[in-house]
Amino acid sequence: MLLYGAGGHAKVVLDCLMEQGVSINGIFDDKSDLVSLNGYDVLGKYDEHSFEEDQVIITIGDNTTRKNLVQKIKHKFGKIAHPSAIMSKYVQIGEGSVVFHGCILQTGVRIGKHCIINTGASLDHDVTVGDFAHISPKVTLCDVVEIGEGTHIGAGATILPKITVGKWCVVGAGAVITQNLPDYSLVVGVPGKIIRRTDDQ
């Protein structure tokens, strides 16, 4: 496996890969001056001919950056779940996605491509998470919730049953979402209120 992005998020993904016994050949990073990260080589700029047979996971926390990088990567994409995650056998996880320590993914959960399901998140039955979304630590997604592409759910937020959160939204840490949210909503509070759009200049 190869990673792309040598920051803090990559360190957690490295832990997941090590725990699963996956061999790791290095980490691309277009900007970092590091030569190694937690004992693994930082390889410099992305090179499509480097370890061509390996898969890549994009280990950058920003959802838009992950989406933009997908276009230029020629390797196949990998995915990983930490062994402490509890997952129904009826869970689907898309390429490039990562599921961190202590998550619970119930039956019928579908995770898109290049998502981050962060530490201790709880996804109840039949939840859908769109591509490039980030579900932060300790988030609760109740049953049949739908999360749109690129949306970031902040730490500890709760989304009530059957709610749809649109694309490229940001839900503030600790919010409780009681109503469907249109695309590009930025929401904080309990109950959650829209305070602006995420695509405002």
Ligand X SMILES: CC(C)(COP(=O)(O)OP(=O)(O)OC[C@H]1O[C@@H](n2cnc3c(N)ncnc32)[C@H](O)[C@@H]1OP(=O)(O)O)[C@@H](O)C(=O)NCCC(=O)NCCS
The residues that are catalytic are 125
Pick from 142, 173, 176, 194 the residue near ligand X by CB under 6 A: 173
Among residues 152, 82, 151, the alpha carbon closest in space to that of 119 is found at: 82
Structure tokens at 128: 């859908």
Is 158 one of the binding residues for ligand X (CB under 6 A)? no
For residue 40, which of 58, 17, 62 has the smallest C-alpha distance?
17
Region near ligand X per CB under 6 A, out of 21-29, 101-109, 165-173, 176-184: 165-173
Q: Which of 13, 85, 170, 181 binds ligand X (CB under 6 A)?
A: 170
Q: For residues 124-153, which are near ligand X according to CB under 6 A?
A: 136-137
Q: Which two tokens stand for residue 131?
A: 């591509």
Residue 90 in tokens:
């009826």
At which residue do the structure tokens 């056998």 appear? 89
Beta bridge partners, 159, equal 141, 177
Least distance to ligand X from the beta carbon of 56, Å? Answer: 22
Binding footprint of ligand X on the chain (CB under 6 A):
118, 136-137, 154-155, 170, 172-174, 188-189, 195
